Amino acid sequence: MLSARSLFQEILDHDESYRLFCSIAASGEAQGGWENGRIAALVPASQRALAPKVARHGADEDKHGRLFNALLRKRGLQPATVPEETDYTALLERRGIGLAHDKLRRDEPLTEQDVVTYLAHSRVTEQRAAGQMDLLKKYFGGHPEIGRAILMIAADEENHLAYCHEELLRLAEQGHGPAIRRALRDCALAEAVVYRDVSLAVMAHMGRILGWPRAKSAVLAAGIRAVYAYERLAGWRRMVTLRTPERRDALGGPAASAPEFV
């Protein structure tokens, strides 16, 4: 029977599929670390109190990238080249979601609207990341090879999501509510498309590596498209709601290290 647990176990048990999975994850996290680092350096004067939290967010993402690369090294594997069609972060940027890398490479202060754009993008993508890590934590949190890294990353993703909620609510109180609602909706709808396309691409690559029969690949692709149809219809709303988080000031301190891995 097909299940999230059995599929990931199959990927985990095969060196080449595991190599691709960890390489895609490491690349995305490293890219997120760079983006947050640049945003922290360019935060406008009116939002300077936000800069240390953005920097902490970036440090966490960098750590996650190192964790995935450490998992590869533990198995004696080298990172794989990440196929363009599986690059979630780059595909989001191509759709105009988040802050463009060209803007981040310039040494020009961001605007408050840029901060809204950044936080809305982060709120949506961190919701996705937190959901994925919750699933992995459920099935593999106790795994001897990957369990500790999964638990570390899952805890960080919960902090990131809490931080996004808290900061967006703070900006809404400062009069940015309409801009936040627009940015969240636009980002959520575009992210659903990108997530569908990346999921289909990743499953296609995994299917080729693992030799899945055509029927199995077809069932998985249909499932991915069904999830997208639901998200397009109504599921996107869970990505745009804001609530006061239980964890307050979740990124208010330094990033936790992972000495056993890096």
**Residue burial 220-258, b: 16+ Cβ < 10 Å; e: rest:** bbeebeeebeebeeeebeebbebeebeeeebbeeebeeb
- pLDDT at site 28: 95
Confidence of residue 3 (pLDDT cuts 50, 70, 90): confident
What is the rounded average pLDDT of the residues 1-12?
A: 87
- Could you give phi then psi for residue 75, rounded to 5 degrees? -100, 5
- The pLDDT value recorded for residue 254 is 66
pLDDT-based confidence at 15, cuts 50/70/90? Answer: very high
pLDDT for the residue numbered 252? 84
Q: Is the pLDDT of residue 255 over 80?
A: no
Which of 41-50, 91-100, 113-122, 247-256 has the weakest average pLDDT? 247-256
pTM comes to 0.93
Q: Give the architecture-level CATH label for domain 4-239.
A: Up-down Bundle (1.20)
pLDDT at 2: 73
Q: Is the pLDDT of residue 259 over 60?
A: no
Q: 112 and 47 in contact (C-beta within 8 Å)?
A: yes
Return the domain boundaries, the chain: 4-239
- Per-residue confidence (pLDDT) for residue 262, from 0 to 100: 43
Distance CA 112, CA 44 (A): 7
* Cα(38)–Cα(103) distance, integer angstroms: 10
The torsion angle over the Cα atoms of residues 92, 96, 100 and 103, rounded to 10 degrees, is -170
Size (the chain), residues: 262
| For range 129-143, the mean pLDDT | 94
Express each pLDDT in 202-251 by its tens digit: 999 999 999 999 999 999 999 999 999 999 999 899 899 999 999 899 99
Within a 13 Å sphere around the CA of 161, how many CA atoms are in the beta-carbon half? 25
**What distance in Å separates the CA atoms of residue 191 and residue 88, rounded to the nearest whole number?**
9
pLDDT of 78-115, one tens digit each? 999 999 999 999 999 999 899 999 999 999 999 999 99
Angle separating helix axes 51-74 and 147-171, nearest 10 degrees: 160
Query: Residue 144 and residue 211: Cα distance in Å, rounded?
Result: 26
